[in-house]
């Protein structure tokens, strides 16, 4: 039993250590840019990846400003895609499962937005359809993939791949979760630091006034 | 209606190596960042207007594109292929022009982005930068390089490499929020109130590139050292690098510095700044210093009194933050189809 647990955690640590840190930095910069231009972050995936997306949206929109909820400041607008079950079933039933993300997305996607696409294989065709829509509109894409990265890793602007053997869902999904928590922590720390500095700082006056 | 914007930029080292006379011989490199000051372009379709109405520091109402006085408006409209009027275009800026923050290229980039969006075309960062370079360098024959157009189209803290084949390689510099905020707190940014067109300084610099080739090579190579020191948070070393570059740059053009600029620069160093630079092509505009935060108050006071003694009434400190986003269309109800 202990061996089994040790093997699992060792494998997880091995993949965590091999994460593409520059690509995660790129992802952070994309999200910072979206905040500056008051855009939205659309996050989506299938099955477990959709659950990860939903969890992250709840965390990110609130937790980032959790220590400063009383302060009036612009917050993030992260949206799980599609935002209603109605849209998922309507697009799947009427048009095709391929369009459950791209279909609703084309209604509201703006150039100021970004996508976080989550697919362990990197090849889910409905995820790729939405990514292609973003590519066509020059909307940046953060791609969280696993295995060999698949098409998603080729099309994404931030290529965050957890390189594993084919089918290692437990590894990939656990680490996708950790990466998304990293993004939330980063921006929580960033805004905490910013607010502390702003409050501590006396406003600089124009030199000659 | 449609609103686009492009940020202003601060370049740290490597300016001048983005000119073709240099980068056709040796890779040119610049390290720069965008800041939270912008140039905005607004396009409105006016149903009852048959003309073009352009609103900037002046207002032009013309029927024919060729009659537009403002060079950039005229040539950009032609480049993007807009011929018929019925359109108001206005520009707004957070800071005045000729501050050395690349605002004229920010305007070109925001304008090109807006004109394409107005036609229903979304263009990449690379395309908007390339087209702004074509407009300013090839068509308007300005003696400038390519760094500003790329810096503001892409946004963020980057090293740009200008290659022989006219391509530009963009390498983002990843600095975490804490280092970035510390960096901002060490920078002191002073608008001198001296406005001079960049062109006169740049023309002289351009004619002397061969003569000063070794200096330019050193400046191009130094971007990596600047990046590494920045990531390490060694702001003193960065200040000293700026000071070295300042002494090199003074050799590049007789117009680069002048009585007032030198006096202001030296006054800041006297009060504890590690180093600094004139932003833009020199001769006026803004001074950027790196100094320990606790010395900022004394430096500010000294700069103010020296500026006052020269009668520079418009001089002032500018507060800013570093940004990531480049040229953007923020609002578009004119032509915005995602399908």
Q: How confident is the model at residue A208 (pLDDT cuts 50, 70, 90)?
A: very low
Note the pTM of the prediction, 2 decimals.
0.93
Q: What is the DSSP letter of B233?
A: T
- In this predicted structure, what is the pLDDT of residue A202? 44
Read off the pLDDT of each residue in B228-250 and give the average, rounded to a whole number: 93
Within 8 A of A197 by CB-CB distance, chain B residues are 181, 185
Q: How confident is the model at residue A203 (pLDDT cuts 50, 70, 90)?
A: very low
- In this predicted structure, what is the pLDDT of residue A62? 86
Read off the pLDDT of each residue in A114-136 and give the average, rounded to a whole number: 98
- In this predicted structure, what is the pLDDT of residue B198? 61
Interface mutation target, options B287, B303, B321, B328, chain A, most CBs of A under 10 Å: B328
A and B: number of Cβ contacts within 8 A: 83
CB contact under 8 A, B316 and A209: yes
Rounded CA-CA distance B160/B158 in Å is: 6
pLDDT tens for B93-121 read 998 877 888 899 999 999 999 999 998 99
**Contact status of A109 with chain B (Cβ, < 8 Å):** yes
Which conformational region is residue B98 in: left (phi greater than 0), alpha (psi within -120 to 50 degrees), or beta?
Answer: left
Read off the pLDDT of each residue in B158-187 and give the average, rounded to a whole number: 97
| A206, pLDDT greater than 50 | no
Within 8 A of A209 by CB-CB distance, chain B residues are 316
Q: What is the side-by-side order of every strand in the sheet holding A78-80? A: A78-80, A41-45, A114-119, A141-147, A158-163
Contacts for A149 with CB less than 8 Å, ≥ 6 apart: A122, A143, A159, A161, A163
CB contact under 8 A, B330 and A37: yes
Q: How confident is the model at residue A36 (pLDDT cuts 50, 70, 90)?
A: very high
For A2-195, which CATH superfamily applies?
Glucose-6-phosphate isomerase like protein; domain 1 (3.40.50.10490)
Closest-CA residue to B193 (of B312, B106, B31): B312
Question: Quick check: bond before A82 cis, omega within 30?
Answer: yes
Count of positions (residues) in chain A: 209
Domain ranges of chain A: 2-195
Q: How far is B219 from chain A (nearest CA, A)?
A: 26
Q: How confident is the model at residue A71 (pLDDT cuts 50, 70, 90)?
A: confident
Pairing of strands B328-332, B316-317: unpaired
| B293, pLDDT greater than 60 | yes
Report phi then psi at A115, rounded to 5: -115, 145
The yes/no answer to whether this complex scores an ipTM above 0.90 is yes
- Domains of chain B are 2-175+325-332 (3.30.230.10), 177-322 (3.30.70.890)
pLDDT tens for B134-147 read 999 999 999 889 99
| A21, pLDDT greater than 90 | yes
Rounded CA-CA distance A129/A103 in Å is: 9
Query: Tokens representing B285?
Result: 């505009």
Query: Tokens representing B100?
Result: 């050395």
Q: Which of B181, B323, B332 sits opposite A193 (nearest CB)?
A: B181
């Amino acid at each position: 039993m202990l061996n089994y647990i040790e093997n699992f955690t060792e494998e997880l640590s091995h993949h965590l250590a091999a994460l593409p840190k520059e690509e995660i930095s790129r992802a952070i910069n994309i999200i910072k840019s979206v905040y500056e231009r008051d855009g939205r972050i659309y996050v989506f995936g299938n099955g477990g990846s959709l659950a990860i997306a939903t969890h992250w949206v709840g965390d990110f929109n609130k937790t980032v400003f959790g220590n400063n909820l009383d302060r009036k400041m612009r917050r993030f607008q992260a949206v799980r895609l599609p935002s209603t079950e109605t849209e998922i079933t309507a697009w799947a039933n009427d048009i095709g499962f391929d369009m459950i993300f791209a279909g609703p997305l084309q209604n509201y996607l703006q150039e100021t937005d970004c996508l976080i696409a989550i697919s362990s294989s990197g090849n889910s065709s409905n995820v790729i359809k939405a990514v292609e829509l973003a590519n066509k509109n020059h909307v940046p894409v953060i791609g969280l993939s696993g295995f060999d990265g698949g098409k998603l890793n080729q099309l994404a602007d931030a290529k965050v791949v957890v390189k594993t053997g084919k089918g290692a869902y437990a590894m990939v999904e656990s680490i996708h979760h950790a990466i998304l928590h990293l993004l939330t922590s980063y921006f929580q720390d960033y805004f905490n630091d910013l607010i502390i500095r702003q409050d501590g700082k006396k406003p600089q006056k124009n030199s000659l006034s | 209606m449609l609103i686009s914007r492009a940020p202003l930029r601060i370049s740290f080292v490597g300016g001048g190596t983005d000119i073709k006379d240099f980068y056709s011989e040796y890779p040119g490199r610049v390290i720069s960042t965008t800041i939270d000051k912008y140039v905005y372009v607004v396009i409105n379709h006016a149903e009852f207007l048959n003309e073009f109405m352009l609103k900037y520091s002046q207002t032009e109402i013309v029927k024919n594109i060729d009659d537009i006085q403002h060079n950039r408006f005229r040539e950009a409209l032609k480049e993007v292929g807009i011929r018929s009027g019925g359109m108001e275009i206005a520009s707004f800026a957070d800071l005045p022009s000729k501050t050395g923050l690349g605002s004229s290229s920010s305007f070109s980039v925001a304008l090109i982005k807006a004109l394409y969006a107005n036609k229903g075309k979304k263009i990449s960062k690379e395309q908007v930068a390339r087209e702004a370079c074509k407009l300013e360098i090839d068509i308007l024959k300005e003696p400038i390089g390519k760094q500003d157009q790329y810096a503001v189209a892409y946004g963020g803290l980057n090293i740009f490499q200008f290659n022989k084949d006219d391509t530009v390689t963009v390498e983002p510099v990843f600095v975490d929020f804490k280092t970035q905020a510390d960096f901002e707190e060490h920078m002191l940014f002073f608008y001198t109130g001296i406005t001079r067109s960049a062109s006169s300084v740049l023309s002289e610099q351009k004619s002397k590139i061969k003569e000063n080739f070794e200096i330019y090579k050193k400046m191009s190579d130094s971007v990596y050292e600047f990046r590494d020191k920045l990531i390490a948070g060694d702001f003193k070393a960065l200040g000293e690098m700026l000071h070295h570059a300042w002494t090199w740059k003074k050799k590049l053009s007789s117009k680069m510095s002048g009585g007032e600029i030198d006096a202001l620069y030296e006054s800041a160093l006297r009060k504890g700044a590690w180093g600094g630079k004139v932003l833009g092509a020199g001769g006026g505009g803004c001074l950027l210093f790196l100094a320990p935060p606790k010395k900022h108050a004394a430096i500010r006071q000294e700069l103010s009194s020296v500026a006052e003694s020269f009668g520079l009434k418009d001089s002032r400190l500018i507060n800013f933050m570093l940004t990531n986003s480049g040229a953007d269309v923020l609002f578009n109800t004119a032509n915005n189809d995602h399908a």
